Each structure stands twice: as C-alpha cells, then as structure tokens.
Amino acid sequence: MSYAAGIAALNERHGVYGAARVEAGNGGLPKIAIETRLCKAEVYLYGAQVTSWKPAGFEEVLFVSKQSHWEYGKAIRGGIPVCFPWFRAKPDDPKAPMHGFVRTKVWEVGSIQREPDESVRLVLSTKSDDESRRWWPFEFRLEYHFRIGKTLELELRMHNTGPLELQFQEALHTYFRVGDVKLARVRGLDNVRFLDNRDGNKEKVQKGDLVISKWTDNAYLDATGPVEIVDPTLGRRLVTQKSGSVSTIVWNPWSDGAANMPDFGAEEWPGMLCVEGGNVLGQAVALRPDASHRMAISLGVLAT
C-alpha cells in the first residue's frame, strides 16, 4: 500500500464527515484535521501532537515555529509535544533523545467521534517496542484521549504492562502563541517553589506574577492549581487547569537561546510562551506492574 493510500485508508476507517478528516499534513505526515462550529484544530499522528487549535471567536492559540522540521526522526517544534518517559535530557545517557522518544513515534488511531455538542473525541495510543527498549527497558502502553471544542481537554493514560516497577516523567509541553512575551505575565504560581534550570537548578520561590524578561526555564514543584497567561497584546487569557500533575514548567528561550536552535526562528521567541503541566524531575511517577496513572490538562481561552 502506498503512503497516500495508507492515509486514505485511515480516513475511510476513522474520518467523521463534516467534523474530522485524516489527511496529509506538512512533509506529507498524516494529520487529523478537525473543523466544527466550535473550533478548528490539527493533530499529527507523528508524536500525537496537537499543532493547531482555534476555538470559535479567537485567533490561533498554539505556536509552531516556521523553522520546524516535518520529517520522521525529528521532533515538531511547537504545538503540544508529549514528553515521556523523561523530561529534558536523560541523565544517564546524553545520546538519548531530548524529552523522551514518544514525540518521534507514529501513534495509532483508536477512535474519532463527534459528540452531541459538536466537540470531537479522539483516542491515540502507542506502546513499548524494540526501539523504545533501546532507550528505556520497560513495558508500557500510553493512551492519549482528546476532547476538542471550545476547550481543549487532554488526558494521558500510562499503564505499566511489564513485570517490573518503573518510574517515568511526563509533560504536555504546550507552546502558547502570545502577542509579545515581554508584556505577558503568568498568574497562579505565587509562593510556589521552583527549580531554576538557568541557575543550576537552584530552588527558589515565585513572588507574584511571573514576568518574562530573560531566558526562562523554571520547573514549579507541588504546583497543582490553575495557571493563566495574561496576554494584553492579543487581549486574552490562556488558562491551564490540570489533575494528576504536580509540576508546572514555564519556558521561553529569549533571543540567546533561540539563536542556537536550528528548528526555531531567531526572531520568533517574542511570540511564544510554554506553560505546561507534568510530573518531572524529582516528581516522577512510580508505577507497580499492572498499575496505571492518568494526567489530564484542560486549556481554555477568555477575552480580557
């Protein structure tokens, strides 16, 4: 079966007339294109990555770099990558892929369906194989559940299918599109402890709203409450609510970091801000054999 025929077969099996279609995206990679009265969205099977979400009445919520790679073996820069089973570099193997390996795997389509309110539910999955065992010697299955409409609801379900207890880190690495990151601020982290990756991972405490004024890479600990980006330039608030997550990460590479990233335009950094839910670093999740863990993230947009 040809590549195009494979995409056509996926659409024939899973497409929902008037709501969701499987088609070729950038670089020919298969994507699920969603369009209803509630929103427009795109989800790539490569990495199970949401790359676009436009709820009705609002501009694009997510940032994707114009310099992003769209090819197998390289991560898509932007949208909502899935970081698993480690976050940042793998401590015991510098050759391992940054943020884990599932963002460069093609996920399987479980189901696509339209709800009575016209939101679209989508289930994608992936599991351990020879390639994953090369980096991480455990058996697992991941299911990723999406509910896409006026809000974007994401739930990552991890199941330990092997005989050994394991630990993993995870994050839904959301790249938000902002009008000007220098004018935006992040609310909801006041008095929360964080590790500053730009200062040797020293533990610090956030005071008041976070204002981005330099290369920022903070991992907030025991951060379970809602967080919002106040964006006066685009006149909106981007709200993240979550469950099953005790870490919140905030990242922007600023001009110095962006200059060293080949898949990120040197002038793009003012237009994005990552605020993401996860369980990372010392807050990794431990799972016994046959045990499961769920992390859910809900994204919403409000006018200011």
Q: What is the pLDDT along the chain (304 residues), one digit of tens a residue?
A: 556 889 999 999 999 999 999 999 999 999 999 999 999 999 999 999 999 999 999 999 999 999 999 999 999 999 999 999 999 999 899 999 999 999 999 999 999 999 999 999 999 999 999 999 999 999 999 999 999 999 999 999 999 999 999 999 999 999 999 999 999 999 999 999 999 999 999 999 999 999 999 999 999 999 999 999 999 999 999 999 999 999 999 999 999 999 999 999 999 999 999 999 999 999 999 999 999 999 999 999 999 9
d(CA 140, CA 161): 5
Contact 26, 123 (CB under 8 A): no
The gap between the terminal CA atoms of the chain, to the nearest Å, is: 50
d(CA 293, CA 281): 17
- Cα dihedral 224→225→230→234 (10° resolution): 80
At 282 the pLDDT is 96
> What positions carry a catalytic annotation?
173, 276
- By C-alpha distance, which of 56, 59, 23, 70 is closest to 42? 23
Tell me the domains of the chain and their CATH numbers. 3-303 (2.70.98.10)
Per-chain mean pLDDT for the chain? 97
Give the 3-state DSSP-derived string for 117-142, with helices as H, strands as E and coil as C: CCCEEEEEEEECCHHHHHHCCCCEEE
